[in-house]
Each structure stands twice: as C-alpha cells, then as structure tokens.
Amino acid sequence: MATVSPLGYALLCTLHRGPLTGYEIVRRMRKPIGYYWTAQQSQIYPELARLSAAGLITHDAEAGPGPRQRKTHRLTDAGRAALAAWLVEPPAPRAPRDEAVLKTYALAAADPARMREFYLAEAEAYERRHEDFRAQHADLVSRNADDVQHPQFGAYATLELALATGPVRIAWYRWLAEKMAELAERGGPPQPAGAPPGSATPAEDNAADPAEGEPGGPTGTAVPGADEPDSAYGRRSGRGHRAGVRRPRTGGTGA
C-alpha cells in the first residue's frame, strides 16, 4: 500500500462518516478538526489527489457553478481499511513546541508589566475558544452524541478533552499575570551580580538534563498544574466544563 502522510490520514478521518465535497472537507479541516490538526487549503487538494491515485478515496463529478467540476469524495474499501489500521497504531513521536511555555522559561529577560498583558491576552483567547467548545459540546449532548454508539461520539470525546484541559491553561495564564503584577511592584527580577539580564544561575547551569521521556525532557513538555487537579491552578479552575452544562435528551441521533 502507498505511504499515507499525516495529512492524508486527517483527510481520511474527515470522510469516515460519509462523502464530502472538497469545499466541505476544507471547512471540516478548519472546524472542528482545525482545533487539533491544521492544514492549508493549498495542501488539501493535492493530498486528495494523492489519496485518489493510491485508491484510498474516489469521487463523483458533476457540473459546478463555475468552470470546474464539483467533486464529491468518499472512502473506498481500501481507504476504510487503511484508516482502521492507522487508528490503532501508536501515535508518531512529536517534538514538543509550546511557544507560551518557552517564553515563560525566559521570564527574567522581559518587562513584567508587558508580560502581564501577554498572559491576560492569552487567557482571554483561551476563554473565547473554551466558550466555543462548550457550545459545541452542548449541541452534541442535545443530540445524544455522548452515547458511545452515536456516529459523532468521537467528536464528543475530543471536546471532553478540550473542556477538561482548557480551564487549567486559563488558570495558569491568569496566575502568571498576577505574578507579573507582583513582580512589577517589587521592581522586577533580581539579577546575579555582574550577570547580564536573563542569564542562567549557576545552579541552573549545573543542573542535570531531564531524563529522556520525562516531563520537560526532550520528548515532553509539562504544563504546570496540567496533571495536578489539586494544584493552585486546578483549584482555581473550579468544576471545569461540567458546571452549567445541561444534558437534554430530547433530540434524536442525527449525524
């Protein structure tokens, strides 16, 4: 079987519930899939062509509103088999890249007042996204998508993760904003005598590297409080997304 790229598998995922046009696939890749896997429109159409050449998808063509044909893509039996096999494979190792955490590591080199503004802006952005997640979650629950047999249970499950982890990140940003305000009031971070601003302390220079695979090491980035529900961050996040989310059972089981 031809090698399938990560984007190719993402496109197979979008088609697993039924046929979609290229435009509909692009929309799905923006939302909701775009929350956890992103791709540009310029990447999507060439990848669809590669999947078609590999026999993993096929399409029906009809006259469109413009000069181009309107194509509706669907999985082939081979495509469904490839997707099913990929779903149970361990995820490929991913290099940790979290710009906000990286910036936090170098806090001593920044103006505390401006870093406070940065953290508040990040918290507000996460809060807006969290509210969007809550609305989607409530909509899925109203259609009984929390039933494991519902065709959209997978979408519901991804939102469960987003709603569980979002409050931790928001609380972390707001905690840091408070700390930056405190730091500004106290005159900024102290610097070792004779050291340039932001330089590492001797203890940090002599610290051993984290073991491979440990949080903060080469293969993982730990977010403070993310795995500690009883930490200061977890306590500030309250009851999380469960509070205020009703679970009506009046809807059907539409896709």
Question: What are the pLDDT digits (tens) for 200-221?
Answer: 544 454 444 444 433 333 333 3
The strand pairing partners of 113, in sequence order, are none
Multiple choice CATH, 6-87, 3.30.930.10, 1.10.150.120, 1.10.10.10, 2.160.10.10:
1.10.10.10
Can you give the pTM of this predicted structure? Answer: 0.65
Higher pLDDT, 2 or 171: 171
Instruction: Report the alpha-carbon distance of residue 90 to residue 97 in Å, rounded.
Output: 20
What does the pLDDT look like over 9-68, one tens digit per residue? 999 999 998 999 998 999 888 877 777 777 888 899 999 999 999 999 999 988 767 777
The DSSP result for 61-118, as a single string, is EEE-SSSSEEEEEEE-HHHHHHHHHHHTSPPPP-----HHHHHHHTGGGS-HHHHHHH
Residue 148: alpha-carbon gap to chain centroid: 22
Q: Where are the domains of the chain?
A: 6-87, 99-202+212-242
**Contact yes or no for 138/160 (Cβ under 8 A):** no
Q: Which amino acid is at 20?
A: L
The yes-or-no verdict on residue 230 having pLDDT over 60 is no
Q: Residue 92's pLDDT is what?
A: 82
Q: Residue 197's pLDDT is what?
A: 54
Higher pLDDT, 73 or 108: 73
What does the pLDDT look like over 141-186, one tens digit per residue? 999 999 999 989 998 999 999 999 999 999 999 999 999 999 999 9
**Contact yes or no for 12/81 (Cβ under 8 A):** no
